[in-house]
């Protein structure tokens, strides 16, 4: 694709196919992201792209290195085309430069001024080196649209064609008397007043220089993905029978035993079976401190082993690893379109036809009204209009910034699932937090039990048996304490769970209800005052209280206190987020007093407590109805409705899969400071996009009138157009320095 119009044409073509739900084409990445139903196959999409005059292939993670290799080849082809055009265009540029007053002292051989000598230099540039421009223009016009290639082909062909026709009238020999007379007079535009061979040749050389520099810069913008791909080792040492053998990484299977030596990359996700070492996980989490790994510790592919040796069991391979999912998420985000891109899309759709109309009108006005009869002068001005208006910079303004921004986020452990999420994060006004697993470690521990009607350990055994069927972290903590006391966990029956409320089940001859006080009261359980007083004391010290009632052989009623410590980064993260001007809200299923204790410790001022999952979502919707843009940070299944309804959901990477699927941003490490980073990065990226769009539009708004008024030579217009694209990409690359 040569400009944003190419991307729009392919996108429209794909969206017209029956069965395509959504198609988004990214000009900067040269990718298409397509959602389609079972009526279609990938080959149908590829055939549609080919029918529009382009080539395509399915993008797989295994093919990414080949794609990068092809980009390198394209960059080398552009370099060759530019150097070839520069060599051929230089003599013509030299003759043109010699006629500027400040360079009039330069000696110019007379033969360089002959039309057919200039033709011999210009023709290869126009028709051999410049052939891809003609090919792109033909392809666009064939499909009923216009792109940058159309403008370039029109402008350079007009200059070259006019000069060629005029050359036919001037004679074919260096000894032609007319030529000799002109050589002696040195009047007008060179020795031939109306030839523009140098305009077309030099113009194409400048355009190719810009495209080459643009390709170099775009290569740098995708370095984050390339760096992630480079984290995979090519080979891995696995145990085969009784010896260790080295095989290519793609032959690794689940369950294989892997030997990891000091200083080597971890090849895949798995569990440490033997050995101990510190592992640098910074490329996945953004955290610089190494993590100590011992037996049963989790390992992640792409991380760097320290000074110890490890034996790993491969649990996930290929596309199932964390690294592969990160790469896929980043690629999908980069293939998506930000809402700001719609501005550029609307302009690009009508831009090229409008410029052609302006160029024609400019030619007619100069020819018939301003400088009557001076066709060559009018032609020069209309060519300048065609060339300076090429919409490359406009097409690159948004996608390249997104490419760099999402890539930078990935290296910091921040995964934006799409461009819309990245843009929306920048404008958030309210940020809501879940408590457990978001502000806290999500690893609660049982600290106290008070029970009436039963012995404490027997009460704990029965409660833990019922909680063994639950995935809630509080239930897991109760089970862990029972196992630590060597209590026998039974198997409950007729388990009924109410998210955000509690759980009911039968165990042996007992009927057991566990959960919040309100949940038990709804089941007809009466709450004695002495237990309520104990609960008040526990909640004031930020403990979470679980109630349990046992009806059956031995009636019992008790309470369990669980404590979940704050994450080390939570207090600082809340402070940093408040400095960004956000209103912070704590949404929790815990009781108000527990929530108030946590809020007081962290500095969160607004609290909504005793909420079930739908209650959290309802609070967020109410704030949105009030006109506020709301983000939600959570980690558990009970946070999924709130994450989905918020403008942007932030999911802790250590949370549940459903929470991560519901969120627009995934924080790989689950560190709240990454939310602060993601908001700052989002604002920096959106600011960068707006700068790019402003300058791309301002460039054309200023450049077209200047060219139309005759103050800009075509070759200067070409240079300015090339530099505008490079400047947009260079500005986007500044995001790589984000800290």
What's the length of the chain?
739
**pLDDT value of residue 564:** 83
Number of folded domains that form the chain: 5
Provide long-range contacts, Cβ within 8 A and 24+ apart, for 164-168. 164/119, 166/115, 166/192, 166/194, 166/195, 167/115, 167/116, 167/119, 167/195
**pLDDT value of residue 105:** 66
175-200 per-residue burial string, b: 16 or more CB within 10 A, e: under 16: eeeebeebbeeeeeebbbebbbbbbb
Mean pLDDT of 96-106: 64
- What is the helix (H) or strand (E) element at residue 531, kind and residue range? helix 529-540
Judge whether 159 lies within some domain. Answer: yes
Question: Which of 8-22, 178-192, 198-212 comes out lowest in average pLDDT?
Answer: 178-192
Shared domain check, 417 and 388? no
Between 624 and 372, the higher pLDDT residue: 624
Judge whether 668 lies within some domain. Answer: yes
Shared domain check, 652 and 621? yes
Distance, C-alpha 110 to centroid of its chain: 57
CB 36 within 8 A of CB 58: no
Q: Does 273 have pLDDT greater than 80? A: yes
pLDDT category, 218, cuts 50, 70, 90?
Answer: low
pLDDT category, 402, cuts 50, 70, 90?
Answer: confident
What distance in Å separates the CA atoms of residue 233 and residue 249, rounded to the nearest whole number? 7
Mean pLDDT of 219-240: 75
CB 210 within 8 A of CB 726: yes
pLDDT category, 133, cuts 50, 70, 90?
Answer: confident
Judge whether 244 lies within some domain. Answer: no
Sheet containing 583-587: give its strands across. 414-416, 665-667, 648-652, 630-634, 430-433, 583-587, 606-608
Pairing between strand 430-433 and 583-587?
Answer: parallel
Q: Give, as one character, the DSSP assignment of residue 490.
A: -
Judging by beta carbons within 10 Å of its beta carbon (0-12, 13-18, 19+), is residue 488 exposed, middle or buried?
exposed
Scan for tokens 């060179």, then name that residue.
190
CB 478 within 8 A of CB 439: no
Integer-rounded Cα radius of gyration of the chain? 34
Q: What is the pLDDT of residues 282-301, one digit of tens each?
A: 766 655 568 888 888 889 88
Three-class secondary structure of residue 725 per DSSP = helix
What distance in Å separates the CA atoms of residue 297 and residue 313, rounded to the nearest whole number? 11
Shared domain check, 458 and 423? no
Boundary of a domain, candidates 546, 563, 580: 563
Pairing between strand 510-515 and 502-507?
Answer: antiparallel
Judge whether 57 lies within some domain. Answer: no
Q: What is the pLDDT of residues 342-370, one digit of tens each?
A: 776 677 667 778 888 898 999 999 988 88
Angle of CA points 185, 190, 191, to nearest 5°: 45
What distance in Å separates the CA atoms of residue 531 and residue 527, rounded to the nearest whole number? 7
What distance in Å separates the CA atoms of residue 470 and residue 461, rounded to the nearest whole number? 15
The predicted model scores a pTM of: 0.69
**pLDDT value of residue 270:** 92
Sheet containing 291-293: give its strands across. 291-293, 277-280, 304-305
Instruction: Determine the structural domain holding residue 17 and report its residue range.
Output: 4-26+33-49
Q: Which residues contact 342 (CB under 8 A, 6 or more apart)?
A: none
What distance in Å separates the CA atoms of residue 563 and residue 598, rounded to the nearest whole number? 11
DSSP strand E in 566-647: where? 583-587, 606-608, 630-634
What distance in Å separates the CA atoms of residue 85 and residue 89, rounded to the nearest whole number? 6
Shared domain check, 310 and 193? no
Q: Where would I find the H helices in 296-418?
A: 322-335, 341-365, 375-388, 392-411
Judge whether 585 lies within some domain. Answer: yes
Shared domain check, 376 and 513? no
Shared domain check, 638 and 621? yes
- Residue-by-residue DSSP string for 2-37: -SHHHHHHHHHHHHTSTTEEEEEEETTTTEEEEEE-
**pLDDT value of residue 64:** 67
Phi, psi of 20 (to 5 degrees): -85, 120
Q: Does 173 have pLDDT greater than 50? A: no
**pLDDT value of residue 185:** 40
pLDDT category, 190, cuts 50, 70, 90?
Answer: very low
Boundary of a domain, candidates 531, 563, 595: 563
pLDDT category, 716, cuts 50, 70, 90?
Answer: confident
Q: Give, as one character, the DSSP assignment of residue 449.
A: E
- Residue-by-residue DSSP string for 296-308: T-EE-TT-EE-SS
Shared domain check, 373 and 335? yes
Of 297, 279, 300, 301, nearest in space to 288 by CA: 279
Give the percent of the chain with pLDDT over 70.
86
Shared domain check, 383 and 435? no
Shared domain check, 290 and 340? no
Q: Does 313 have pLDDT greater than 90? A: yes
Mean pLDDT of 551-573: 86
Q: Give, as one character, the DSSP assignment of residue 318.
A: G
Shared domain check, 455 and 429? no
CB 368 within 8 A of CB 62: no
**pLDDT value of residue 192:** 46
Judge whether 239 lies within some domain. Answer: no
What distance in Å separates the CA atoms of residue 437 and residue 611, rounded to the nearest whole number? 16
Boundary of a domain, candidates 563, 579, 600: 563
**pLDDT value of residue 220:** 64
Query: How many Cα atoms occupy the beta-carbon half-sphere of 732 within 13 Å?
Result: 34
The residues carrying an active-site annotation are 434
Scan for tokens 């369990």, then name that residue.
560
CB 507 within 8 A of CB 490: yes
Judge whether 230 lies within some domain. Answer: no
CB 246 within 8 A of CB 237: yes
Three-class secondary structure of residue 663 per DSSP = coil
Three-class secondary structure of residue 651 per DSSP = strand
CATH code of the domain containing 505:
3.40.1110.10
CATH code of the domain containing 426:
3.40.50.1000
Q: What share of the chain is helix, strand, coil (3-state, %, to 5)?
A: 55, 15, 30
CB 467 within 8 A of CB 687: no
**pLDDT value of residue 98:** 63
CB 439 within 8 A of CB 575: no
Shared domain check, 298 and 426? no
CATH code of the domain containing 302:
2.70.150.10
Q: What is the pLDDT of residues 627-673, one digit of tens each?
A: 999 999 987 667 778 888 899 989 887 655 555 566 788 888 778 89
pLDDT category, 625, cuts 50, 70, 90?
Answer: very high
Q: What is the pLDDT of residues 457-481, one digit of tens each?
A: 999 999 999 999 887 778 889 999 9
Angle of CA points 665, 666, 668, to nearest 5°: 150
Q: What is the pLDDT of residues 483-498, one digit of tens each?
A: 999 999 988 999 888 8
Between 187 and 667, the higher pLDDT residue: 667
Judge whether 722 lies within some domain. Answer: yes
Mean pLDDT of 124-144: 87
What distance in Å separates the CA atoms of residue 698 and residue 685, rounded to the nearest whole number? 20
Shared domain check, 154 and 14? no
């Amino acid at each position: 694709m040569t400009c944003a119009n190419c991307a729009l044409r392919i996108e429209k073509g794909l969206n017209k196919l029956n069965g395509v739900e959504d198609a988004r084409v990214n000009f900067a990445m040269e990718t298409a992201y397509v959602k389609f139903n079972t009526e279609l196959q990938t080959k149908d999409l590829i055939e549609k792209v080919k029918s529009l005059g382009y080539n395509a292939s399915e993008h797989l993670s295994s093919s990414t290195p080949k794609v990068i290799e092809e980009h390198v080849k394209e960059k080398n082809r552009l370099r060759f085309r530019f150097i070839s055009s520069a060599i051929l265009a230089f003599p013509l540029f030299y003759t043109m430069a010699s006629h500027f007053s400040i360079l009039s002292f330069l000696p110019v051989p007379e033969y360089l001024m002959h039309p057919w000598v200039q033709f011999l230099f210009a023709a290869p540039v126009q028709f051999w080196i410049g052939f891809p421009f003609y090919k792109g223009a033909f392809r666009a016009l064939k499909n009923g649209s216009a792109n940058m290639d159309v403008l370039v082909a029109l402008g350079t062909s007009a200059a070259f064609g006019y000069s060629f026709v005029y050359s036919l009238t001037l004679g074919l020999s260096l000894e032609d008397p007319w030529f000799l007379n002109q050589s002696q007079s040195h009047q007008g535009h060179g020795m031939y007043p109306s030839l523009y061979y140098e305009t077309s040749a030099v113009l194409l050389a400048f355009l190719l220089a810009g495209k080459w520099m643009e390709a170099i810069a775009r290569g740098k913008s995708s370095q984050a993905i390339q760096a992630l791909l480079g984290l995979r080792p090519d080979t891995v040492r696995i145990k085969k029978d009784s010896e260790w053998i080295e095989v290519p990484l793609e032959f690794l299977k689940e369950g294989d035993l892997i030997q990891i030596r000091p200083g080597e990359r971890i090849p895949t996700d798995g569990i440490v079976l033997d050995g101990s070492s510190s592992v640098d996980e910074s490329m996945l989490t953004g955290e610089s401190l190494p993590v100590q790994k011992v037996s049963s510790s989790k390992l992640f592919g792409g991380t760097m082993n320290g000074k110890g040796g490890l034996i790993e069991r491969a649990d996930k391979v290929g596309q199932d690893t964390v690294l592969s999912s990160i790469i896929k998420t980043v690629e999908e985000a980069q293939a998506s379109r930000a809402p700001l891109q719609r501005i550029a899309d609307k302009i690009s759709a009508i831009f090229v036809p409008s410029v052609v109309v302006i160029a024609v009108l400019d030619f007619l006005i100069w020819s018939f009204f301003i400088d009557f009869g001076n066709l060559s002068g009018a032609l020069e001005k209309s060519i300048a209009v065609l060339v300076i208006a090429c919409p490359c910079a406009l097409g690159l303004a948004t996608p390249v910034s997104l490419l760099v921004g999402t890539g930078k986020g990935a290296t910091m452990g921040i995964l934006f699932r799409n461009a819309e999420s990245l843009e929306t994060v920048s404008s958030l006004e309210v940020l809501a937090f879940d408590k457990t697993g978001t502000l806290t470690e999500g690893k609660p521990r049982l600290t106290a039990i008070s029970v009436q009607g039963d012995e404490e350990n027997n009460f704990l055994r029965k409660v833990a048996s019922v909680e063994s069927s639950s995935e809630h972290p509080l239930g897991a903590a109760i089970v862990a304490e029972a196992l630590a006391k060597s209590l026998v966990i039974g198997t409950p029956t007729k388990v009924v769970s109410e998210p955000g409320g509690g759980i009911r089940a039968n165990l042996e001859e007992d009927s057991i209800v566990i959960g919040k006080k309100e949940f038990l009261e709804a089941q007809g359980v009466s709450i004695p005052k002495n237990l309520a007083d104990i609960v008040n004391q526990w909640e004031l010290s930020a403990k979470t209280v679980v109630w349990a009632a046992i009806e059956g052989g031995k009636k019992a009623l008790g309470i369990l206190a669980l404590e979940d410590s704050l994450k080390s980064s939570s207090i600082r993260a809340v402070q940093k987020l408040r400095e960004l001007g956000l209103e912070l809200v704590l949404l929790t299923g815990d009781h108000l007093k527990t929530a108030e204790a946590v809020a007081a410790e962290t500095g969160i001022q607004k609290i909504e407590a005793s909420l079930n999952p739908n209650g959290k979502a309802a609070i967020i919707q109410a704030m949105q109805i009030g006109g506020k843009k709301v983000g939600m940070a959570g980690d558990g299944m009970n946070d999924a409705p709130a994450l989905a309804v918020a403008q942007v959901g932030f999911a802790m990477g250590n949370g549940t899969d459903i929470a991560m699927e519901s969120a627009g941003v995934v924080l790989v490490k689950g560190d709240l400071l990454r939310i602060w980073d993601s908001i700052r990065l989002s604002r920096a990226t959106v600011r960068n996009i707006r700068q790019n769009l402003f300058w791309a539009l301002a460039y054309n708004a200023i450049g077209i009138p200047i060219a139309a008024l005759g103050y800009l030579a075509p070759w200067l217009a070409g240079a300015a157009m090339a530099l505008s694209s490079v400047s947009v990409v260079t500005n986007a690359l500044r995001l790589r320095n984000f800290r």
